[in-house]
Amino acid sequence: MSEAVDDLVGPPAPVAEPEPGPGPMPDPVAAASPAPRPSVLTACDWLGEGARSMLLLAPRWERLVASPWQMAFQMLLQVGLGVLMHRIMIEGDAIFIWRALLAGWSTALLTVWLCYLIQPDPRLRRSPHGAPGAAHLYTLLIAQSTLFAMLAWGLYFLLIRTDVVPAASMEAQWALWFVPMLWSVLAKLTVLIRAARPLAPQRAIVTIAVVALTTALGHYIAPPPPTWRAAPQPEVPEEEPFEVSQEMMEAQLPLLGEQIDALKPQRPGLIDMYTITFAPYEGEEVFRRESAMVSDVMARRFDAAGRGLQLINHHKTADTLPWATPLNLERAIEGIAGIMDRDEDVLFIHLTSHGASDGELAASFWPIDVAPVLPPALKGWLDQAGVRYRVLSISACYAGNWIAPLAADGTLVMTASDADHTSYGCGKKSPLTFFGRAMYDEQLRTTTRSFTEAHAAARKVILQRETEAGKDDGYSNPQIKVGSKIVPVLEQLNQRLVNKP
């Protein structure tokens, strides 16, 4: 049997026999004394040599004392740090999964076997750089892997959780996982090969095979499960299905007319701003929020309080706000045109919904069948109503398709994207679209009343946020086109409002 082991691990390095001579006989009691228990300094020595081995430096074995207690301490330290880091990575309440601690020990058993194969007899040290024994070798590998785990967790926390690297950047996540893993494999092999010298071919093959197997088990085949999981969120009661009742229909029919009649009249000699926000897609809460936000910004910053309408398709406002249908939008434009001074005042319209590549603005209000809105239709309604000065804002994917059909000397038209790209932020988890947030909630609300200045600043902010979010189909590239005749009108309006908060 010893011959077979020697075939794998190679013959031991020659060990000098002690010369006989006078001297005290060894104390049998001292020889049988128990292994020293770990101290803080001893544990730090192991971690220090583990750090040296991470840098591919030869461990200084003479500084280290191996014992069952030290081995247990290093293993508990590794497990404890893993439990702690798993908990830190979960925001909010979490549940501890103690059974996860029972998994993943196959890699440890394989590593123990490999250490014993390389150094089966602590009395026969095979290399000056090799470990005094299998216990030393395994304890050092534990300390080394603990430090690599701390490095990997630290990089993930600092770069991903602090948004230094976007969480959606797959390249960054792969690099943070792959580079420390390869480094740890190289460092582990370096320690083992140093201990296995002289390097017999069979020994090298077995060492590399076992390290490859443990790496595959730990990272691919059977990675240890997390020791914590996020606590379940309290169940949100499902909303009752939206039903259109006769009472709702009867309340909705006069609603638009009543709200048009309640609008404040125009003021002679002053440029007034009248507003319409139009959110026709019931399926996304973000459009309802954006409609309300834009309406509020225009009322506060452009003196449009009492001169605005909100047309929204949403079950929460089905009996309080006019529905966002093409016919209601046409009637709203016609109604406001009858109140405003069409040669002096400005009509602002903000459309927010999903958009199609052909320019169609999506509409949905189940069980009601709502037709989509298209750019030529909107321009036709405005022309028919005789509205001279218009500020038109379209927050949707591919909204650049609206620029050319709506452009005119008395029109400022701006969009959340060009004709070839999607916009961002229209999902269920978004509080506002990227365009609505940057353009209205940030720039026009607090910084400027100039649509052109706000749009230019919003473009930069949107580019940064889309890059951080990992938008993979290219920059949305918001567009704007300003007619020459509306410029002095907006400048006069801004001058009138310059002293307003």
452 with 375, same domain: the answer is yes
- pLDDT category of residue 19 using cuts at 50, 70 and 90: very low
225 with 84, same domain: the answer is yes
What pLDDT score was predicted for residue 361? Answer: 87
What pLDDT score was predicted for residue 44? Answer: 84
pLDDT tens track for 346-393: 999 999 998 888 888 888 877 777 888 999 999 999 999 999 999 999
For the ranges 207-216, 234-243, 447-456, the lowest mean pLDDT is seen at 234-243
Task: Report the distance separating Cα 203 and Cα 193, nearest Å.
Answer: 9
Q: What are 393's two structure tokens?
A: 């804002």
How many domains would you assign to the chain?
2
267 with 379, same domain: the answer is yes
Q: Is 151 domain-assigned?
A: yes
How many residues can be counted in the chain?
Answer: 501
95 with 189, same domain: the answer is yes
For the ranges 267-281, 437-451, 462-476, the lowest mean pLDDT is seen at 462-476
Q: What are 76's two structure tokens?
A: 């508990």
Q: What are 58's two structure tokens?
A: 């030869």
Better-scored residue on pLDDT, 275 or 370 = 275
221 with 305, same domain: the answer is no
For the ranges 27-36, 75-84, 166-175, the lowest mean pLDDT is seen at 27-36
What pLDDT score was predicted for residue 230? Answer: 81
Instruction: Give the range of the structural domain holding residue 136, as residue numbers without chain letter.
Output: 2-12+35-230
- Residue 443, pLDDT > 80, answer yes
- Residue 18, pLDDT > 50, answer no
Highest mean pLDDT among 92-106, 119-133, 184-198, 461-475: 461-475
Task: Report the distance separating Cα 319 and Cα 53, nearest Å.
Answer: 71
- Which helix (H) or strand (E) segment holds residue 275: the answer is strand 273-279
What pLDDT score was predicted for residue 178? Answer: 75
214 with 339, same domain: the answer is no
Task: Report the distance separating Cα 434 and Cα 424, nearest Å.
Answer: 6
Q: What are 323's two structure tokens?
A: 């529905």
| CA distances in angstroms from 104 to 71, 90, 108, listed in the order given | 18, 21, 8
pLDDT tens track for 156-215: 776 656 655 554 455 666 666 677 778 888 888 888 777 766 656 666 677 777 777 777
**pLDDT, mean of residues 462-491:** 90
348 with 216, same domain: the answer is no
Taking alpha carbons only, the member of 462, 484, 479 closest to residue 410 is 484
What pLDDT score was predicted for residue 202? Answer: 66
225 with 255, same domain: the answer is no
Q: Is 426 domain-assigned?
A: yes
CATH code: domain of residue 399: 3.40.50.1460
Given 230, 262, 294, which residue is the final one in a domain?
230
**pLDDT, mean of residues 239-268:** 78
- Residue 485, pLDDT > 90, answer yes
- Residue 227, pLDDT > 60, answer yes
Given 182, 201, 230, which residue is the final one in a domain?
230
128 with 266, same domain: the answer is no
- pLDDT category of residue 6 using cuts at 50, 70 and 90: very low
For the ranges 127-131, 253-257, 306-310, the lowest mean pLDDT is seen at 127-131
Q: Is 106 domain-assigned?
A: yes
Q: Is 25 domain-assigned?
A: no
Given 169, 200, 230, which residue is the final one in a domain?
230
- Which helix (H) or strand (E) segment holds residue 114: the answer is helix 106-118
Q: Is 467 domain-assigned?
A: yes
What pLDDT score was predicted for residue 192? Answer: 79
- pLDDT category of residue 17 using cuts at 50, 70 and 90: very low
- Residue 137, pLDDT > 50, answer yes
Task: Report the distance separating Cα 463 and Cα 456, nearest Å.
Answer: 11
Task: Report the distance separating Cα 76 and Cα 99, nearest Å.
Answer: 16
409 with 364, same domain: the answer is yes
On average, the pLDDT of the chain sits at 80
Q: Is 480 domain-assigned?
A: yes
436 with 483, same domain: the answer is yes
What pLDDT score was predicted for residue 319? Answer: 76
| Greatest Cα-to-Cα distance within the chain, rounded to the nearest angstrom | 122
What pLDDT score was predicted for residue 31? Answer: 40
Better-scored residue on pLDDT, 119 or 142 = 142
DSSP E strand stretches across 124-254: 228-230
- pLDDT category of residue 219 using cuts at 50, 70 and 90: low
339 with 449, same domain: the answer is yes
**pLDDT, mean of residues 246-257:** 75
Task: Report the distance separating Cα 477 and Cα 463, nearest Å.
Answer: 8
Neighbours of 199 (CB within 10 A): 13
For the ranges 133-142, 230-239, 391-400, 433-442, the lowest mean pLDDT is seen at 230-239
Better-scored residue on pLDDT, 387 or 114 = 387
What pLDDT score was predicted for residue 81? Answer: 84
- Which helix (H) or strand (E) segment holds residue 165: the answer is none
Better-scored residue on pLDDT, 136 or 249 = 136
> pTM for this structure?
0.56
What pLDDT score was predicted for residue 231? Answer: 80
What pLDDT score was predicted for residue 199? Answer: 58
Per the CB < 8 A criterion, the answer to whether 328 and 256 are in contact is yes
What pLDDT score was predicted for residue 272? Answer: 93
Q: Is 246 domain-assigned?
A: no
Q: Is 129 domain-assigned?
A: yes
